[in-house]
């Protein structure tokens, strides 16, 4: 809204953090104390990799489809065909995560859809807004990452590939 001020209209913000090796180190404990003292909602992750992938699962599932449809979450979640594509996108992400030893499950996909169904119907993803405004986006880091990992791991990713390749010309134009 202004320098240093973020309006978290869609959810109650929380910082989830931890060591890369999931060790409950002194610095993690100190950081936890500092966040608590500053009254910042925070959680020490039991498995930081799983938590990162859960966040990734949500944002990568909705961002590309939002950019393709140019629709708000309310419109996307109301259409069975769009929901199916989002579900396929999420299933491909879970398959890649599992191949990398990350324990995402179909229950995590269900949570993504629960969040989508409970967000304000006017919500859009930041990547979607960037692409719609002709700005560089996280396309390479979201759907592009899943496509590249699918190729490397010999896992088909048709939904992510379609989304990535359809948005790539706009991304390249924004970056030129």
pLDDT tens track for 66-113: 999 999 999 999 999 999 999 999 999 999 999 999 999 999 999 999
* Owner of token pair 């953090």: 17
pLDDT of residue 7: 65
> Binning pLDDT at 50, 70 and 90, where does residue 8 land?
low
C-beta neighbour count of 57 within 10 angstroms:
21
Residues of the chain with pLDDT > 90, as a percent, come to 90
Threshold 0.75, pTM exceeds: yes
* Owner of token pair 């879970």: 94
Q: Alpha helices, DSSP H only, in the chain?
A: 26-37, 48-69, 73-78, 80-99, 106-118, 126-132, 143-153, 158-175
């Amino acid at each position: 809204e202004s320098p240093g001020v973020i309006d978290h209209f869609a959810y109650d913000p929380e910082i989830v953090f931890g060591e890369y090796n999931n060790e409950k180190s002194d610095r993690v404990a100190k950081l936890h104390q500092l966040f608590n003292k500053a009254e910042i909602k925070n959680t020490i992750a039991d498995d930081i990799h799983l938590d990162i992938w859960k966040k990734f699962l949500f944002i990568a599932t909705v961002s590309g489809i939002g950019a393709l449809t140019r629709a708000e979450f309310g419109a996307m979640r109301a259409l069975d065909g769009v929901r199916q594509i989002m579900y396929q996108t999420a299933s491909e992400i879970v398959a890649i995560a599992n191949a990398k030893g990350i324990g995402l499950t179909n229950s995590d996909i269900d949570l993504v859809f629960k969040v989508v169904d409970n967000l304000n119907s006017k919500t859009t993803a930041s990547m979607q807004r960037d692409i719609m405004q002709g700005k560089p986006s996280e396309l390479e880091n979201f759907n592009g990452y899943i496509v590249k990992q699918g190729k490397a791991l010999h896992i088909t990713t048709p939904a992510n590939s379609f989304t990535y390749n359809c948005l790539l010309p706009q991304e390249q134009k924004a970056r030129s």
